[in-house]
């Protein structure tokens, strides 16, 4: 279950980064926020146990990192590389050619930035609306973010796999918002 | 010479902020810099070349060049010593520029380093929007140890912080990139850019002054016309060299997103500027319009999956350029094929290794820099953990891959947490394309020899900044027992990152930016 704890931790870190990006000098950094949203999406998939989500794991077999690497980490989560490897590699036939297929689609469409939409979430494609989107997004995240934190503390104290499941409804409700994140 | 001259006094730059003045003075070797009195190893000449003879608070700058630099340290080592270096020679410390304070002001952090075409000039830009240009001293027989040292030639404020009132956003003054133009006359030209605006700067010398005006006194006061009884011809008299920088063109309002690259075309008339989603083509003479040649902005921003991270013109073919993406791909475009180069001519991508997938695979595959080789046959890309050399004739995989710091792969979650995973490292070729260099953490930088396949890790540190010191190769211990002189991964200082390096176009001289310090290393003198 540790990989789900790791995924959950990555989700909270990612949300924190998006939240704090609002106050950054120089305005929103599109590149960084896009990368954070991609990590958030992968971690969310793993956490919710969606099919293909296990591919977000780092399955590379490695020796457990030495304990003094804890200095680099906040919080007490143990590095998970070895545990996930011990669980065995997960084949991800859908994921590994993901890049290729996106590329092929991109080539066909003639533009690398597009991809077929999975969730319908209309939003006005105006550049000057982006800060407006961010403000509304942040206000929404404000409530669900603190809600997530509250539940996270509860999960950490309980430290039982069963407790983690109660957060799933909160994370499932993030589903529409993860695409909105990309709307930066 | 039109335009507002950039050669204002320090008072004009910093208002009534004497501490800031001292910081600038201290940075670049002015005699009165308090931080430098006791430091033997900082070069920089006696002047900062601001173009004024004296500044408030009694500082006098003196001549920007031709004066001896008593504190400069030269390279020059005979004798052997161990350590494998690229191309079978050894790197020696030459100079370091910048303050030694532990407390680094954010404005002093160097954000770009670039040699000009001849290598005689070395430009740096910092987060405070300033550009400092160093010039290589002429070889002087009477001072054989000062073999081509770089001393301050000109300093000017290129960009100021701005405020976009429409979006309520502050626009940072940080210089993202500097690119030199090939020299066509006595003056030097460079392009410098922040997130939104590109400026063409002219740096020119003045060593003569006209004296004997008819209508003006020597101190500039207008003479009473009735008092003038005779006419005289003004004569040119030599004066102390003054280097002036003036903005000749300002290319603004063409980028909605943050500019990450500029690249001068081989035709020397046009250049491109790239932001996250668009690339624009400019003519150096025309500031009120540019051509958009690449636009990857999707109609619906929620469909955005990748952004442009770097772009560069081919060094010889003025119709060809490449741009890299956050997905680890490179597209080569030919401007002859269509006006809008959304369809690429070549697409470079290496298939992902499914065994190394992680949450962070996408981040670490994002390309942070792309550079053509001087020959134009290859290009090099830098992603978070590796440098790849691509043959332009082969799109499906790179011809060479060099691991920069593979030991970080198991630390990606922590590096994501502390934001280090978003660091954008640059890379550079040497003049003959036989070696490549890139930076890492702990003030380490790495060099790879493409022919011998040897690599070396060196450190830019004050400890190894002794006069004429050969740089000792460094090694990171990745596991098991740590040998003497090795450093363990967890002892690495991730705040000391070398993102920007530059290699002299023809000689083995490298400039390495370590936060607020600029190190210059040379190969050993025979």
Give residue-wise pLDDT tens across range A32-90: 999 999 999 889 888 888 765 555 454 444 444 444 433 444 433 333 433 333 343 33
Q: Length of chain A in residues, anyone?
A: 184
Closest residue to B342, CB basis, from A32, A102, A111: A111
User: Which residue in A13, A46, A55, A72 has the most chain B C-beta atoms within 10 A of its own C-beta, making it the best mutation to test that interface?
Assistant: A72
B205 vs B154: CA distance, rounded Å: 10
Residue B150 is predicted with a pLDDT of: 95
B179 vs B424: CA distance, rounded Å: 18
Residues of B in contact with A128 (CB under 8 A): 166-167
Q: Would you give the DSSP letter of residue B227? A: G
Q: Would you give the DSSP letter of residue B123? A: E
Nearest to B289 by CA among B340, B335, B341, B254: B254
A82 vs A68: CA distance, rounded Å: 16
Residues of A in contact with B276 (CB under 8 A): 30-31
Strand partners, B180: B190
pLDDT at A135 over 60: no
Strand ranges (E), A21-180 = none
Residue A94 is predicted with a pLDDT of: 39
B181 vs B160: CA distance, rounded Å: 22
B75 vs B281: CA distance, rounded Å: 42
Tokens of A162: 């069963």
B407 vs B415: CA distance, rounded Å: 12
Give the chain A residue nearest B297 (alpha carbons): A113
The answer to whether A34 and B326 are in contact (CB under 8 A) is yes
Reported as type and span, the H/E element at residue A17 is helix A2-21
Closest residue to B298, CB basis, from A89, A113, A131: A113
> B418 in contact with A at a CB cutoff of 8 Å?
yes
Give the chain A residue nearest B259 (alpha carbons): A29
Nearest to B95 by CA among B156, B29, B34: B29
Q: Parallel, antiparallel, or unpaired for β B188-193 and B177-180?
A: antiparallel
Residues of A in contact with B360 (CB under 8 A): 39
Residues of B in contact with A114 (CB under 8 A): 298-299, 303, 305
Q: Are A69 and B171 inside 8 Å of each other by CB?
A: no
- Give every residue of chain B whose pLDDT is below 70, as ranges: 1-88, 141-147, 525-526
Residues of A in contact with B106 (CB under 8 A): none
Assessment of whether the complete model's pTM goes beyond 0.95:
no
Residues of A in contact with B111 (CB under 8 A): none
Residues of A in contact with B495 (CB under 8 A): none
Q: Are A123 and B167 inside 8 Å of each other by CB?
A: no
Tokens of B430: 């040497």
Strand partners, A53: none
Tokens of B210: 């006209």
Tokens of B70: 């008593």
User: Which residue in A17, A27, A29, A128 has the most chain B C-beta atoms within 10 A of its own C-beta, making it the best mutation to test that interface?
Assistant: A27
> A134 in contact with B at a CB cutoff of 8 Å?
no
Would you call A136 exposed, middle or buried from its count of C-beta atoms within 10 A (0-12, 13-18, 19+)?
Answer: exposed
Interacting residues of B221 by C-beta distance below 8 A, sequence separation 6+? none
The answer to whether B24 and B11 are in contact (CB under 8 A) is no
Q: Are A10 and B303 inside 8 Å of each other by CB?
A: no
User: Is the model more confident about B321 or about A111?
Assistant: B321
The answer to whether B337 and B345 are in contact (CB under 8 A) is yes
Q: CA B489 → CA B147, B352, B440, distances in Å? A: 37, 26, 12
Closest residue to A56, CB basis, from B276, B298, B359: B359
Q: Are B331 and A112 inside 8 Å of each other by CB?
A: yes
Mutual orientation of helices A130-158 and A2-21 as an angle, nearest 10°? 150
Quote the minimal CA–CA distance from A183 to chain B in Å. Answer: 4
Give the chain B residue nearest A88 (alpha carbons): B355
Tokens of B462: 């004050």
Quote the minimal CA–CA distance from B337 to chain A in Å. Answer: 14
Residue A147 is predicted with a pLDDT of: 33
Quote the minimal CA–CA distance from A160 to chain B in Å. Answer: 23
Closest residue to A25, CB basis, from B172, B358, B366: B172
pLDDT at A165 over 60: no
> A94 in contact with B at a CB cutoff of 8 Å?
no
Give the chain B residue nearest A46 (alpha carbons): B359
The answer to whether B81 and B169 are in contact (CB under 8 A) is no
The answer to whether B35 and B429 are in contact (CB under 8 A) is no
Tokens of A94: 């859908």
What is chain A's percent helix, strand, coil content, to nearest 5? 65, 0, 35
Q: What is the mean pLDDT of residues A100-129?
A: 39
Our CA angle for A102, A105, A109, nearest 5°, is 135
Residue A81 is predicted with a pLDDT of: 38
B50 vs B55: CA distance, rounded Å: 10
Q: What order do you get walking across the sheet with B278-283 strand by strand?
A: B261-264, B270-274, B278-283, B286-295
Residue B66 is predicted with a pLDDT of: 34
Q: Are B342 and A110 inside 8 Å of each other by CB?
A: yes
Closest residue to B302, CB basis, from A32, A71, A179: A179
User: Which residue in A3, A31, A133 has the most chain B C-beta atoms within 10 A of its own C-beta, making it the best mutation to test that interface?
Assistant: A31
Q: CA B259 → CA B171, B256, B428, B494, distances in Å? A: 11, 9, 20, 26
A102 vs A85: CA distance, rounded Å: 28
Residue B120, CA atoms < 13 Å, CB-side half-sphere: 8
Q: Are A59 and B301 inside 8 Å of each other by CB?
A: no
Reported as type and span, the H/E element at residue A181 is helix A175-182
Residue B387: phi, psi to the nearest 5? Answer: -120, 135
Q: CA A18 → CA A31, B257, B365, B414, distances in Å? A: 12, 18, 21, 17
Residue B76: phi, psi to the nearest 5? Answer: 135, 90
At B154, is the secondary structure helix, strand, or coil?
strand
Nearest to A29 by CA among B12, B317, B436, B277: B277
> B169 in contact with A at a CB cutoff of 8 Å?
yes
Residue A91 is predicted with a pLDDT of: 37
- SS3 sequence of B158-209: CCCCEEECCCCEEECCCCCEEEECCCCCCCEEEEEECCCCEEEEEEEEEEEE
Quote the minimal CA–CA distance from B172 to chain A in Å. Answer: 5
Reported as type and span, the H/E element at residue A144 is helix A130-158
């Amino acid at each position: 279950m540790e990989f789900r704890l790791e995924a959950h931790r990555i989700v909270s870190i990612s949300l924190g980064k998006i939240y704090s990006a609002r106050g950054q000098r120089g305005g929103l950094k599109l590149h960084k926020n896009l990368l954070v949203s991609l990590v958030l999406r992968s971690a969310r998939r793993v956490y919710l146990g969606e099919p293909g989500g296990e591919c977000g794991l780092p399955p590379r077999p490695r020796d457990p990192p030495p304990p003094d690497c804890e200095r680099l980490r906040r919080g007490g989560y143990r590095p998970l590389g070895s545990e996930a490897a011990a669980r065995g590699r997960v084949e991800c036939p859908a994921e590994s050619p993901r890049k290729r297929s996106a590329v092929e689609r991109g080539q066909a469409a003639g533009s690398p930035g597009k991809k077929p939409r999975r969730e319908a979430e209309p939003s006005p494609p105006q550049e000057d609306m982006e800060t407006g989107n961010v403000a509304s997004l942040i206000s929404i995240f404000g409530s669900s973010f603190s809600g997530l934190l509250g539940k996270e503390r509860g999960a950490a104290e309980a430290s039982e796999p069963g407790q983690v499941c109660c957060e799933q409804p909160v994370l499932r409700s993030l589903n529409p918002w993860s695409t909105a994140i990309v709307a930066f | 010479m039109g335009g507002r001259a950039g050669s204002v006094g320090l008072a004009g730059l910093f208002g009534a902020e004497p501490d800031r003045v001292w910081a600038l003075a201290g940075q670049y070797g002015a005699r009165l810099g308090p931080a430098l009195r006791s430091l033997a190893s900082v070069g920089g000449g006696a002047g900062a070349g601001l173009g004024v003879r004296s500044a408030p608070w009694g500082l006098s700058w003196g001549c920007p060049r031709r004066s001896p630099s008593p504190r400069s340290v030269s390279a020059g080592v005979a004798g052997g010593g161990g350590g494998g270096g690229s191309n079978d020679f050894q790197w020696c410390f030459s100079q370091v520029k910048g303050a030694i304070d532990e407390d680094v002001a954010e404005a002093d952090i160097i954000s770009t380093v670039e040699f000009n075409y001849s290598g005689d000039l070395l430009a740096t830009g910092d987060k405070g929007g300033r550009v400092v240009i160093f010039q290589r001293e002429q070889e002087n027989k009477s001072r054989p140890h000062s073999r081509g040292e770089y001393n301050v030639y000109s300093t000017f404020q290129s960009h100021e912080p701005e405020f976009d009132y429409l979006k309520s956003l502050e626009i940072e003054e940080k210089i993202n990139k500097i690119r030199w133009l090939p020299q066509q006359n006595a003056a030097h030209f460079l392009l410098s850019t922040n997130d939104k605006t590109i400026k063409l700067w002219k740096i020119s010398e003045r060593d003569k002054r006209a004296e004997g005006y008819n209508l003006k006194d020597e101190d500039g006061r207008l003479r009473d016309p009735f008092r003038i009884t005779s006419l005289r011809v003004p004569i040119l008299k030599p004066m102390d060299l003054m280097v002036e920088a003036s903005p000749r063109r300002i290319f603004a309002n063409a980028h909605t997103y943050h500019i990450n690259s500029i690249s001068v075309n081989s035709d020397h008339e046009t250049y491109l500027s790239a932001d996250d989603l668009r690339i624009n083509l400019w003519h150096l003479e025309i500031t009120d319009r540019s051509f958009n040649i690449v636009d990857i902005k999707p109609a619906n921003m929620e469909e955005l999956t990748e952004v442009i991270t770097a772009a560069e013109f081919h060094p010889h073919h003025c119709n060809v350029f490449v741009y890299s993406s956050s997905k680890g791909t490179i597209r080569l475009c030919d401007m002859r094929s269509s006006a809008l180069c959304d369809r690429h001519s070549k697409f470079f991508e290496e298939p992902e290794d499914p065994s190394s997938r992680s949450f962070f695979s996408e981040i670490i595959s994002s390309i942070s820099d792309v550079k053509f080789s001087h020959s134009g046959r290859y290009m090099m890309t830098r992603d978070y953990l590796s440098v790849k050399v691509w043959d332009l004739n082969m799109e499906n995989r790179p011809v060479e891959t060099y691991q920069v710091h593979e030991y970080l792969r198991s630390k990606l979650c922590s590096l994501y947490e502390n934001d280090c995973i978003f660091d954008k490292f640059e890379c550079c070729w040497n003049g003959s394309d036989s070696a490549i260099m890139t930076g890492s953490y702990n003030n380490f930088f790495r060099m790879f020899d493409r022919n011998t396949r040897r690599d070396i890790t060196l450190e830019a540190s004050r400890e190894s900044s002794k006069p004429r010191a050969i740089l000792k190769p460094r090694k990171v211990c990745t596991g098991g027992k740590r040998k003497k002189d090795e450093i363990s991964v967890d002892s690495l200082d991730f705040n000391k990152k070398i993102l920007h390096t530059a290699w002299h176009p023809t000689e083995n001289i490298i400039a390495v930016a370590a936060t607020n310090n600029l190190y210059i290393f040379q190969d050993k003198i025979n």
